[in-house]
Structure 1
Amino acid sequence: MPVLPGAEPYRHEGGDVGVLLCHGFTGSPQSLRPWAEYLAARDLTVSLPLLPGHGTRWEDMQITGWQDWYAEVDRALRELGERCGKVFVFGLSMGGTLALRLAAKHGHAVSGVAVVNPGNKVHGLSAYALPLARHLVRTTNGLRSDIALAGSEEVGYDRVPLHAAHSLRNFFRLVDGELPQVTQPLLLMRSPQDHVVPPADSARILGRVSSTDIREVVLEQSYHVATLDHDAERIFEESHAFIGRLAPNVGKKGSTTGG
């Protein structure tokens, strides 16, 4: 199945410090591509994989679940670990949740975590209906391009497969129980006006992780997909400063590959 234009995975061979970026549920690498390119231009080795079932059509996502999405970022992290002396994991929305689980599971192999509007729970009455509804209805309306910046669009699905949504709900519950295992430095960036993930999710995450080195940044001018919004440059700069503080030995530039 052809990948949607802009949704291709991205890879840049840079120096000895690596960054893994994880995109969100029903989204694609396009939402994080500017962030990845910013880091790549600053001598970092960057990996931005396309999660299974994403970036093509929603029917492909219907047959995937959290185990598939996590396996892909876990593989990408191990690959970066073989290549780099230090590795950081970043993520948007569910990608932030994936990043937090990687930190919980891989310990010292992850040097730091930066997340933007991370998810922790499927909210509303619909969450309780998912176990049954997914057998009766295939999809529901998606919420794509929750972006304040005029003209900025997210490449992703406008339908949400309910089987995948049910798996996401289970994944959030699993990771919530694992958050105390997260001990790495944490940079959490959140939008007060987020129409997808409420501020309560960030508050829950901050209250449950065991990290002692925590920085919280409020993205006042952006909605959920803040990496494509007014505060994008601030996200890029904050995350690069975060890496620079923890890994000052950023290596030399390499070559870029996409797709």
Structure 2
Amino acid sequence: MVACLCIHGYTGTPDEIKPLADYLRAHTDWDVLTPTLPGHDNPHHLRNATYEDWIIFMESILTQLLKEDEEVYLIGFSMGGLLAGWLTRHHPEVKKLALLSTSVNYLDWPNLVVSKEQLFVEVKDDSLENSSVFGRYFKKFTDVPKQSKAQLAKMVAQAKPVFEHIEIPTFIAQGGMDAVIPPKQSIDFLMDTIPAAKELFVLEEAGHLICQDKDNQILFEKLLAFLKE
């Protein structure tokens, strides 16, 4: 059996990657898991969750999968990409890695959106209150305890050095209109740092929530082909 462990982003939920997980389940017989990271059932619960809790939790799941399944793939979205990279570095039995909108250069909240123009591009025709970007990042992030934001910074610091040790095939996907993570800087870092064979896919019109983009089927097809190679 093949297992695919999908990791959502900071302050997010498995809903961020649900379209991808549903696609993989519909097109394979793989065991596709989308666990919720500690503290992420409610923004206020993040107060007591540390980056070590996130690592330990995901590592416990991965360890069990590596015992039970013939092949294990890791897919990480945003901060989940940092966790996926860290886990891959410390568990070389993982066969393939996919990094989606990975937050290797996650900035402090006041700097996340470089300009109003970027926000409007990602929001597109939605009203601001109904925008997934506004709800996911502006409204929710203001509710996150300060100590949790410090844990995010620690996660970034712990994870970034591991990418130079990734030795398995890696799929890198990025939305060209990402208003949360500067696309070019993230792509450049991953492409320049990871020594393993890499495949890059840029969904030019997509924002940060790349798995929920209107053209997400193109991404899913490319990713599944990579995993099946």
TM-score (norm 2): 0.84
What is the aligned partner in structure 2 of residue 43 from structure 1?
29
1 CA distance for matches of 2:125 and 2:24? Answer: 22
Instruction: Tell me what 1:34 maps to.
Output: 19
1:234 alignment partner, one of 211, 218, 226: 218
Shift of 1:153: 4.1
Secondary structure (helix, strand or coil) at the match of 1:216 reads strand
Q: Give yes or no for contact 1:66–1:167 (8 Å, CA) kept in 2.
A: yes
Question: How big is the shift at 1:169?
Answer: 1.0
Distance 1:113 1:161 in 2: 31
Contact 1:149 1:230 in 2 (8 A): no
How far has the Cα of 1:160 moved from its partner?
A: 2.6
Summarize deviations over 1:128-168 as a string: whole Å, max 9, x none.
xxxxxxxxxxxxxxx9xx66585784886342322111111
Task: Please give the residue correspondences for 1:123-202 in structure 2 after superposition, counting only pairs within 5 Å.
Answer: 123=107, 153=132, 157-158=140-141, 159-199=143-183, 200-202=185-187
In the alignment, what sits opposite 2:116? none
1:68 paired with 2:50, answer: no
Which residue number in structure 1 is paired with residue 189 of structure 2? Answer: 204
Q: Residues 147 and 187 from structure 1, CA distance in 2 versus in 1: closer, same or farther, beyond 3 angstroms?
A: farther
Other structure's SS at 2:87 match: helix
Distance 2:205 2:180 in 1: 15
Distance (Å, rounded) in 2 between the aligned partners of 1:86 and 1:204: 27
2:65 corresponds, among 71, 74, 80, to 80
State the shift of 1:236 in Å.
1.4
Quote the residue 2:200 is aligned against. Answer: 216
- Match of 1:48, as an amino acid? T
- Structure with a larger share of its residues in helix: 2
> 2-side partners of 1:172 and 1:112: how far apart?
21
Alpha carbons 2:44, 2:144 under 8 Å: kept: no
CA 1:66–1:179: 2 relative to 1, 3 Å: same
1:193-219 superposed Cα distances (whole Å, 9 cap, x missing partner):
1111112123112211121x1110011
What is the CA–CA distance in structure 2 between the aligned matches of 1:85 and 1:235, rounded to whole Å? 25
CA distance in 2, matches of 1:33, 1:59: 23
The answer for unaligned runs of 5 or more in structure 2 is: 112-118
Q: What is the alpha-carbon root mean square deviation over aligned residues? A: 2.3
> Which structure 2 residues correspond to residues 13-32 of structure 1 after superposition, within 5 A?
16-32=1-17
2:222 counterpart SS class: helix
In the alignment, the residues of structure 2 paired with residue 209 and residue 70 of structure 1 have an alpha-carbon distance, to the nearest angstrom, of: 21
Matched residue of 1:62: which SS?
Answer: helix
Matching of residue 98 in structure 1 with residue 83 in structure 2: yes
Check whether the contact 2:38–2:54 (CA below 8 A) recurs between aligned residues.
Answer: yes
How far 1:30 moved relative to its partner? 0.7
Matches of 2:153 and 2:97 in 1, distance apart?
22
Structure 1 range deviating more: 81-90 or 20-29: 81-90
- Number of positions where the alignment pairs a residue of Structure 1 with one of Structure 2: 210
> Structure 1: 5+ residue runs without aligned partners?
1-15, 128-142, 246-259
Runs of 4+ in 1 over 6 A off after TM superposition: none
Contact map agreement 1:90 1:96 (CA 8 A) in 2: yes
Counterpart-to-counterpart distance in 1, 2:179 and 2:55: 25
